[in-house]
Chains A and B, each alone.
Chain A
Amino acid sequence: MTNVNPTLTNSLLYLDGICVSFDGYKALRGLSLVLAPGEMRAIIGPNGAGKTTMMDIITGKTKPDEGDVYFGGTHDLSTMDEASIAELGIGRKFQKPTVFESHTVEDNILLALKAPRSPLANLFNRTGPEQKTRIEEVLTTTRLKDHRHRLAANLSHGQKQWLEIGMLLAQDPKLLLVDEPVAGMTDAETVTTAELLREIARDHSVVVVEHDMTFVRDLDVKVTVLHEGSVLAEGALDHVSSDPRVIEVYLGR
């Protein structure tokens, strides 16, 4: 790590010149993005812009063909597997809500809860009182207290989204990657989710991918526009939405 790039060392997340292709199709073409510690960032962009692929790169699911991915200035994420990246403190909510369907809501949170991840530790695990308190807190924050004993499979779509956000909270990562949290939600649920995310952003860094412009407006944070695998514009929502290129590719569709 002889690199003395100041943006690298001060940033929580640093992506530079990332390229990825799938069977010749270039999903990411020189994507660069820097996130400061404690920052919340919204990512928008048309379908296929590479938003989910970017999250795959950060979480170790996909390896970049080219480019650097650093976390906390020192950890090279492109050389690590999913579990180690998760243990570094990066949590992720999938685009399609993914919870453990045959576990209860409470057990979903328990599994996500920050605790040793080794098989042996889990074999002899006893859930202590602090952990129980923490589960209570998460259930309260995600408004799932009354559903704690239900199987996750039986939750509504919106509740599953919240449960997944709750699992992220329980994991207590430094950085949360949230892929389309309000897709398929009612307007009321969307408002609640924006509230929830702002609450979370108070003590976590968050990257949110969303198509819903009212929601992004509600979040009121810096916005990055992706298009065809690279950054098209960056700044306040009003600033980027007045950018003619952005209007052309995205807003003016």
Chain B
Amino acid sequence: MQTSYDLLDRRGIIMLVLLGLFALIVPICALLVPKTSLFFMPPYVVALLGKYLCYALLALALDLVWGYCGILSLGHGAFFALGGYAMGMYLMRQIGTRGVYANAELPDFMVFLNWKELHFTWYGFQHFPYAALMILAVPGLLAFVFGWFAFRSRVTGVYLSIITQAMTYALLLSFFRNDMGFGGNNGLTDFKDILGYSVQSDQTRVALCVLSALALAAGYLLARAIVVSKFGKVLIAIRDAESRTRFLGYRVENFKVIVFTISAMMAGIAGALFVPQVGIINPSEFAPANSIEAVIWVAVGGRGTLVGAALGAILVSFGKTYFTGALPEYWLFALGALFVIVTLFLPKGIIGTLGEMWARHRTSPPKPSDKPSNMPAAAE
């Protein structure tokens, strides 16, 4: 039974193997196979799959805080968007004189706004290492400061969820403003190069898609290493009985702020990989609905399972792509219905329910000791 404590359990291995295969197959099908072949993968599919994988990484990050520590963040989309903006700023500065106004220093929107010099927030973003640092540091710092105040003043449950939602909404409003210096409601787009390679080329698309798969695998390993450590056991303890954990001498707020910050940085990386693949980042990424959708991914796939979160993100996003193509008006209803159905009939999500069935099947006399990462009976 100790298997669930190991860094890699059965589901983890399956997920990593699938991601590995994916990383091999996509380059072959997209670049090597002739375009007429049945196995040819057109570039738009590559970009779509890459996008799903970024969502999966966001879901994984959310599951780390919600599934294991009971922090229901309704604002994780903000960290994703901030990572995306950091990447977008790097990409904007790579455009150089190829912009509409051919200004080597200033992105088009700044020229359009009649700005004479680069907004100070953009300094350094022409260097990829600096941008990469910001992709981690900006979401991480916001999460740290937010968490520091929220967790120290012991805001929990619904109240915490509401203020995370307010946080992303406030960012949405500020990023809409032109004078913030991030392109206003148009956001950042028309990217040309990333690290010297054209973002439009098939090879770059494939590379980004494969990188997204690798980032998901790495994110999974990191999250898994955290949750199987004693630190992770403390997180679960906090989720199950926060005040009990305090009376054992653990400073709950410190554990929360650390895991929240790590999770925000993972979300930032997901956003950074997302932006060059979709070719745009604008304030709508901060929309509260995005963050809520991420919660639904995790609930559908199975909260507190990591693998389930990733699976849920991919399945629901696939459903969204399909629905918004076939029956665009009904997508939101379908999403709402899905959430209700999962909450009522699959409270442990797909992976949680499968895991339970597997455990029951394997041990004929019910030995309930199989899954230490069960969901709590009710969220605190």
Spell out A's residues near B (CB within 8 Å): 59, 61, 81-83, 86-87, 91-92, 94, 98-104, 107, 110-112, 117-119, 122-125, 127, 149-151, 153-154, 167, 171
Contacts and interface: CB of A to CB of B under 8 A. Distances in A.
B234 A102 contact: no
Given A107-B233, A122-B231, A59 B241 contact: no
Contacts of B251: 83, 117-119
Nearest to B4: A104
A53 B1 CA distance: 41
Top-9 shortest CB links A-B: A86-B249, A125-B230, A82-B246, A123-B231, A122-B231, A102-B374, A149-B369, A122-B230, A100-B237
Contacts of A94: 244
B159 interface: no
A127 B2 CA distance: 15
Contacts of A101: 240-241, 374, 376-377
B101 to A, nearest CB: 49
A34 to B, nearest CB: 23
Nearest to B249: A86
Contacts of B243: 61, 82, 98
Contacts of B258: 119
B234 A111 contact: yes
Given A61-B243, A123-B229, A150-B369, 13 more contacts: A87-B249, A99-B244, A100-B236, A100-B244, A102-B239, A102-B371, A103-B233, A107-B233, A118-B254, A119-B255, A124-B229, A125-B229, A150-B368
A61 B252 CA distance: 14
A86 B372 contact: no
Contact of A112 (B240, B248, B255, B375): B248
Interface residues of B, number: 34
A69 to B, nearest CB: 16
A62 to B, nearest CB: 12
A103 B248 contact: no
With most chain A CB atoms within 10 A of its CB, the pick from B239, B249, B252, B368 is B249
B150 to A, nearest CB: 17
Given A102-B376, A119-B231, A151-B368, A86 B248 contact: yes
A111 B249 contact: no
B118 to A, nearest CB: 39
B126 interface: no
Interface string B231-268: 10110110111011111111110110010000000000
Contacts of B230: 110-111, 122-123, 125, 127
Interface of B: 1, 226, 229-231, 233-234, 236-237, 239-241, 243-252, 254-255, 258, 368-369, 371-377
A110 B233 contact: yes
Contacts of B1: 149
Given A123-B226, A151-B372, A117 B241 contact: no
5 contacts: A82-B246, A86-B246, A101-B377, A119-B258, A171-B249
A104 B247 contact: no
Contacts of A111: 230, 233-234, 237, 245, 248
A105 B258 CA distance: 26
A171 B244 CA distance: 13
Given A100-B240, A119-B255, A107 B372 contact: yes
B240 A103 contact: yes
B308 to A, nearest CB: 15
A104 B369 contact: yes
Contacts of A102: 236, 239-240, 371-376
B193 to A, nearest CB: 39
B343 to A, nearest CB: 19
A59 B231 CA distance: 23
B249 A103 contact: no
Contacts of B374: 101-102, 151, 153
B229 to A, nearest CB: 6
A59 B374 CA distance: 29
A110 to B, nearest CB: 7
A91 B230 CA distance: 20
Nearest to B257: A119
B369 A100 contact: no
Contacts of A81: 246
Contacts of A59: 247
Nearest to A115: B230
B226 to A, nearest CB: 7
B247 A92 contact: yes
Contacts of B233: 103, 107, 110-111
A171 B241 contact: no
A132 to B, nearest CB: 13
A104 B236 CA distance: 12
Contact of A98 (B241, B250, B372, B375): B241
B372 A103 contact: yes
Contacts of A110: 230, 233
Contact of A151 (B246, B250, B369): B369
A155 to B, nearest CB: 10
Contacts of A91: 247-248
Contacts of B240: 100-103
Nearest to B369: A149
A180 B255 CA distance: 30
Find the residue from B233, B258, B371, B375 having the highest chain A CB count within 10 A. B233
**Residue from B1, B229, B240, B258 with most neighbouring chain A CB atoms (10 Å):** B240
Contacts of B249: 83, 86-87, 117, 171
A112 to B, nearest CB: 6
Nearest to A164: B244
Interface centre among A100, A117, A171 (most CB of B within 10 A): A100
